[in-house]
Structure 1
Amino acid sequence: MSFRSRFVLLRRLFPQTLFGQMVAILATSLLLTLCVVILLLRALRPAIPPLPVGPWPDTLAIETAIRSLRSIPLSVRQQAAEGMSSAGIHFQLNKAFPCTPLPADHETELVHRILRHDFPGDAASMNVVKCETGDRVFTNIILPADNIHIAVISNFNLHDVIHMTLPITVPFLSLLVMTGALSVWSVWRVNRPLSILARKADTLGYDTTSPLLEEQGPREVRRVIRAFNRMQSRIRMAAEERTRMLMSIGHDLRTPLTRLSMRVELGGDDASPRAMRNDLTLMKQMLNGALTFLDGQREAEPFEVVELGSLLESLCEEFSSTGKQVAYEGVHETACFCQPVSISRAVNNLIENGLKYGKNVHVDAWPENDQIIIEVADSGPGIPDHMRLEMLQPFARMDRARSADGSLGLGLSIVQDVVARHQGSITLRDAAPRGLIVRLTLPAHAPHSRESGLR
């Protein structure tokens, strides 16, 4: 496995949420702290475990000497005391060391407490005092029961405390560093993509064509960035659609306006009220079509369960009652959760398009799994494969000359908008032997998000 493959694998294993990343870093930091403490204890551990803080080495030597002197016969005890004496500790019998008493300090009290504990029989009579002789300071220990006198040159050998405090200090320092690093990382990890998002939001009002933001940061932040990118895409599409609509309306209105201008200038039969009224009616149809399309994008019709077969059959009967060859061939008693007015409008547009370019239209509907299928077939010329996606866009027409009938090319785009609100899909395919079949696929039941929103 290559280094890049290992890196990608480790990146996938790393938690994606902010909570998971913080927990992972905290656990890793605690594990590293434990490893560092273990290494320090192993490196600084002495060959012989140290005694606790205090005058233990000197006190242990004094206790050993006292027990030894007590076990030696009196005839040779003085000679043994002189042999045990050293530069720091002097032993003698039956004679106190001359010195000037000084106030007791912590060392003196600590030695007195240790000796009283180890020699409980001498606790009442034992005396430990601080004194000086010339320029030297001594600690005199007197055991009256055996006339043992000990002079210890201060200071006592106090054991170094570094071996005791280091294992405790390192974890606290490690936790402090870990907490600080985790806090800094968390703030940076969250604030950096949010700061970029804030700057992008400031520029969105006057620049909707800038590139989309890269999805980075924890999963929660990436979801916010993804939603922002979708919003920017919708705003850009709305702006492009508005521009396309204005250009299409301006282009289509220019022809009847030019014709009206020429009729006024030339006069005669061309300027008859009937001819001018036809041009005005055509312009009115174009404007009404654009307004209807915009109103349809803003409508908030409630969703409800309807019997789709009866709805489509009644719609087809309205056309057939006027002499149009429109027939419904689908099943009845088909329940569908939809916006009935919007569905009627969408199917009505498909029927009108079919009658405009063909002689007859057939409407079919049936349930399939958890979906409702609606098909509208006509006998017209159809739409070439390479133009079908384009024809679903607003103001798109295969032939620009068709605007002479007041059409703005909004029929299929209105249908697609209705289907998108129902979370469905629309497909176009050829009919046999000729014509076009438009299939609408709608969910038969309420999606969870839609259902919760209605409640």
Structure 2
Amino acid sequence: MRRFFSTTLGQILAIIACASTVTFSLFIALLFWPGGPPTPGWPWQPTFRIGSIVRVLEQTPEAARARTAEMLHQPGINLHMTDAPATCLTHTLDIEDLQRALDNEVGDHTAGISVGSCNAEDPNSDIQVLVRLHRDDRVVLEARTQRIGPEPPRITFPLFAALLFTLVGVAALSAWAVALVVRPLQRLSDKADAFGREIALAPLAEEGPLEIRRAARAFNLMQERITQSITNRTRMLAAISHDLRTPLTRMRLQLDTNVSDTMRDKLRKDIDLMQTMVSSALAFLSTGSSDEHREWLDLAALIATLCDEYAEGGAVIRYEGPGHVRFFCRPDAMQRVLENLIDNALRYGETVVVVVSIRDETILIDVSDDGPGIPEAQLRDVLEPFVRLDPARGGQPGNVGLGLAIVRDIVRAHGGELMLMNRRPCGLTARILFSQFTSGEPHH
């Protein structure tokens, strides 16, 4: 029980129960408070009778009031005029009801009304009503009456049942409403606990209030990113351990059998190969975690400069596009993207064309080659880490299948998208789309 009330649902239900109990207690107290509502039926008959008598006496000459009062005797009400009344001071709830009812009924026709009982043992058997008239407040009308019939209960079964039903209904509906809010939180808690034991889990349903839906969406994104990160690193370790085994074996055999100059050159090549694979893996692991700040960059100038550098090295490459394209990005990361795409195109093709265009506030960068292309069914697969194609575009020394994955992650970090498309009759185009509104600084 203590554990239940330590939960959100238990605490909210406890608050509702306490509030309902206080409301019920206040309602009962109001029924018995002297200023509360009068008991239906009791004060109104004597109130109307005494009220009608007061109105008549108010219009009667002073000399005739005493005789008129004696003539107005009614069953249960004795009347007489007096200038020296003995005020009775005993009060009950019924007497308070009669006092309040008379004030409302004839208070404007009198100079004051006093109601009390002269019988302390049985107050309701002798109730005194003193009324001071406006025109002569030295002489008062004294009316004697009594409480007729048994006193009805102030709390009847229908009233108690209605109040109890209201409280139970409010508590039940509140519990139901709270459960709707708490249930998604409970699922989120269970999912987070299960995620600590098992990485591959189905996404959490995004339901409930806005704040809970946002929390569920954030949890799903976190789960997806963590799962993808762990999967990529596991695959990376498997790929590197497999690819490093071959050059290490060759190096061991060469060292055991021969240390000639020719063998030294082969060893250097194997070392370079291992260095390339390790560098690619480290570059992939550092993608997205760079502390480089974004700044405005002339994207067209960067691409044109890279194309000139590759052309000076003997590559057949050209740039087509505007002279200036302003883009808000991380310059070093963007240069890595372009270099990876150009290196990939030059590896499998002889001629490379880089085209930049702007369409509807979107920057398009196309890097095209005239190589063998990629089978349509594998265009999306090659964007995943450690995916290598055989034989035309795979199997290259030092290639661990991370180049395009690195490019895709950097492009996504800039709010863009990377797509691969085959050309006709041959070749491949790597297209990057950047939205200037999502990738640049906020527009004012």
Alignment TM-score > 0.5, same fold: yes
Per the alignment, residue 98 of structure 1 pairs with none
Per the alignment, residue 422 of structure 2 pairs with 430
- Following superposition, the deviation at residue 323 of structure 1 comes to 1.1
Greater shift in the superposed pair: 418-427 or 189-198: 189-198
Structure 1 residues 391 and 156 mapped into 2: Cα distance closer, same or farther (>3 Å)? Answer: same
Per the alignment, residue 441 of structure 2 pairs with 451
Per the alignment, residue 9 of structure 1 pairs with none
1:191 to 182, 189, 194: 182
- Following superposition, the deviation at residue 200 of structure 1 comes to 2.6
- Following superposition, the deviation at residue 304 of structure 1 comes to 2.1
Structure 1 residues 211 and 131 mapped into 2: Cα distance closer, same or farther (>3 Å)? Answer: closer
Matches within 5 A, 1:105-184: 105-106=90-91, 154-156=146-148, 184=175
Residues 1:333 and 2:355 aligned together: no
Structure 1 residues 114 and 335 mapped into 2: Cα distance closer, same or farther (>3 Å)? Answer: closer
Structure 1 residues 208 and 114 mapped into 2: Cα distance closer, same or farther (>3 Å)? Answer: closer
Give the TM-score normalised by structure 2.
0.67
Per the alignment, residue 441 of structure 1 pairs with 433
User: Structure 2, unaligned stretches of length 5 or more?
Assistant: 1-39, 62-67, 81-85, 131-140
Greater shift in the superposed pair: 252-261 or 268-277: 268-277
Per the alignment, residue 214 of structure 1 pairs with 205
Structure 1 residues 56 and 260 mapped into 2: Cα distance closer, same or farther (>3 Å)? Answer: same
Per the alignment, residue 263 of structure 1 pairs with 254
Rounded Cα–Cα distance in structure 2 between residues aligned with 1:171 and 1:369:
67
Q: Give the AA of the match of 1:289.
A: S
Structure 1 residues 182 and 140 mapped into 2: Cα distance closer, same or farther (>3 Å)? Answer: closer
Residues 1:376 and 2:367 aligned together: yes
Structure 1 residues 191 and 140 mapped into 2: Cα distance closer, same or farther (>3 Å)? Answer: closer
User: Structure 1, unaligned stretches of length 5 or more?
Assistant: 1-48, 71-76, 94-100, 143-148
Residues 1:248 and 2:239 aligned together: yes
Identity, % of aligned positions:
34
Rounded Cα–Cα distance in structure 2 between residues aligned with 1:412 and 1:108:
94
- Following superposition, the deviation at residue 337 of structure 1 comes to 2.3
**1:132-170 deviation per Cα after TM superposition (whole angstroms, max 9, x unaligned):** 9xxx9667999xxxxxx999774346996969xx99x99
Residues 1:385 and 2:385 aligned together: no
- Following superposition, the deviation at residue 382 of structure 1 comes to 0.6
Per the alignment, residue 193 of structure 2 pairs with 202
- Following superposition, the deviation at residue 390 of structure 1 comes to 0.7
2:285 to 281, 284, 294: 294
Matches within 5 A, 1:63-142: 105-106=90-91
**1:177-210 deviation per Cα after TM superposition (whole angstroms, max 9, x unaligned):** 6875676455433333223323332343332212
1:451 aligned counterpart, secondary structure: coil
Q: Give the AA of the match of 1:327.
A: R
Q: Give the AA of the match of 2:400.
A: L
2:288 aligned counterpart, secondary structure: helix
Residues 1:361 and 2:337 aligned together: no
- Following superposition, the deviation at residue 292 of structure 1 comes to 2.1
Structure 1 residues 362 and 104 mapped into 2: Cα distance closer, same or farther (>3 Å)? Answer: closer
Supply the RMSD in Å over aligned alpha carbons: 5.2
Answer whether contact 1:138 1:151 (CA < 8 A) is retained: no
Answer whether contact 1:56 1:158 (CA < 8 A) is retained: no
Per the alignment, residue 276 of structure 2 pairs with 285
Rounded Cα–Cα distance in structure 2 between residues aligned with 1:348 and 1:331:
20
**1:41-84 deviation per Cα after TM superposition (whole angstroms, max 9, x unaligned):** xxxxxxxx9686573366479789999xx9xxxxxx9xx989x8
- Following superposition, the deviation at residue 393 of structure 1 comes to 0.8
Structure 1 residues 63 and 108 mapped into 2: Cα distance closer, same or farther (>3 Å)? Answer: farther
Answer whether contact 2:341 2:367 (CA < 8 A) is retained: yes
Q: Give the AA of the match of 1:437.
A: T
Rounded Cα–Cα distance in structure 1 between residues aligned with 2:413 and 2:44:
79
Structure 1 residues 137 and 216 mapped into 2: Cα distance closer, same or farther (>3 Å)? Answer: closer
Structure 1 residues 102 and 420 mapped into 2: Cα distance closer, same or farther (>3 Å)? Answer: closer
Q: Give the AA of the match of 2:304.
A: E
- Following superposition, the deviation at residue 287 of structure 1 comes to 1.0
Aligned length in residues: 375
Structure 1 residues 130 and 207 mapped into 2: Cα distance closer, same or farther (>3 Å)? Answer: closer
1:420 to 412, 419, 428: 412
